[in-house]
Amino acid sequence: MASFGIDIGGSGIKGAPVDLSTGTMISPRFRLPTPNEAKPKDVTEVVAQVVQYFNWKGKVGCGFPAVIRQGIALTAANVDHTWINTNIDQLFTEATQCPTKVINDADAAGLAEMAFGAGKGWDKGVVMLVTVGTGLGTSLFVDGRLFPNTELGHIQIRGKDAERRASDAARQHKDLSWEAWADKFNEYLQEIERLLYPDLIIIGGGASKEYNRFAGAIKIHAQIVPAQLLNNAGIVGAALAAERE
């Protein structure tokens, strides 16, 4: 069984067909740059190009950086605010000529890790995925079931949006080493733990590749592990969401 997954990020839009029996991509992913300002018309055109590159005709899933309710964006993180109240399911379905299901991007990554990666087998307790990249994304699972659209990268830490302090973009902007940045990220995880007391926290996004460089500075009670699907999790999870729909 196969489906098609797309991951819309701050710098790139990438996609590939996915074998849902194994959670692996059938073909190497195809990536195009995210258009400047990331407005609906421009992003939609790129999404269509990614699907057309593979001559895909089946179901499409898409991870999008926003709170998504019934295919409609209620927020817009790292994309143009004109996305708010846009029916993205409808927009992408018309552009690709494929039935398209859009979900929050971190939720897509979480679905992949729970099905095929670091969260596999965790069907009891509370599991949280934190994606660290341009922003901080979160997905939350209770007894294996997704609690969608948590967006806990936007909680307040010392009076600031958490992702402005603890994302990889913030690390790069402040020219911090991974070790120096880890103190800020640890503070964020401690606040997450105080609010939710998860049993397992999975670190995903681009920072998952650098996990060993900052893992020693993380001091929390929950078990913490790097994501296994790394940057492919968004594509795999989006494809999975499309098939489940």
CATH of domain 121-227: 3.30.420.40
User: Is the Cβ–Cβ distance between 103 and 69 less than 8 Å?
Assistant: no
Helix (H, G, I), strand (E, B) or coil at 233: helix
- What pLDDT band is residue 78 in, cutting at 50, 70 and 90? confident
Residues in the chain, total: 245
pLDDT > 90: what percent of the chain? 91
Question: What pLDDT, on the 0 to 100 scale, is given for residue 206?
Answer: 85
Question: What pLDDT, on the 0 to 100 scale, is given for residue 158?
Answer: 92
Quote the CATH superfamily of domain 2-107+232-244: ATPase, nucleotide binding domain (3.30.420.40)
Cβ neighbors of 106 (< 8 A, separation 6 or more) are 63, 129, 131, 137, 138, 139, 150, 151, 153, 204
Written as six digits, the tokens of 17 are 């067909």
Question: What pLDDT, on the 0 to 100 scale, is given for residue 231?
Answer: 81
Cβ neighbors of 84 (< 8 A, separation 6 or more) are 66, 73, 74, 75, 76
Other Cβ atoms less than 10 A from the Cβ of 72: the count is 17
In this prediction the pTM is 0.94
**What Rg value do the Cα atoms of the chain yield, rounded?**
17
More confident residue, 48 or 230: 48
In the block, residue with structure tokens 């913490």 = 224
Written as six digits, the tokens of 178 are 């991974």
Distance spanning both ends of the chain, measured CA to CA: 14
pLDDT digits (tens, 9 = 90+) for 138-187: 999 999 999 999 999 999 999 999 999 999 999 999 999 999 999 999 99
Question: What pLDDT, on the 0 to 100 scale, is given for residue 63?
Answer: 97
DSSP state of 77: S
DSSP state of 139: E
DSSP state of 237: H
67-74: average pLDDT = 97
Question: What pLDDT, on the 0 to 100 scale, is given for residue 151?
Answer: 92
Written as six digits, the tokens of 126 are 């509370």
67-89: average pLDDT = 94
Across the chain, what does the average pLDDT equal?
95
Which helix (H) or strand (E) element contains residue 35? none
Q: How many whole angstroms separate alpha carbon 234 and alpha carbon 111?
A: 9
- What pLDDT band is residue 230 in, cutting at 50, 70 and 90? confident
Domain boundaries, the chain: 2-107+232-244, 121-227
DSSP notation for 37-53: GG-HHHHHHHHHHHHHH
- What pLDDT band is residue 24 in, cutting at 50, 70 and 90? very high
Check pLDDT > 90 for residue 134. no
Please tell me if the domain spanning 2-107+232-244 has the same topology as the one spanning 121-227: yes
DSSP state of 87: B
Written as six digits, the tokens of 20 are 């849902």
Check pLDDT > 90 for residue 135. no
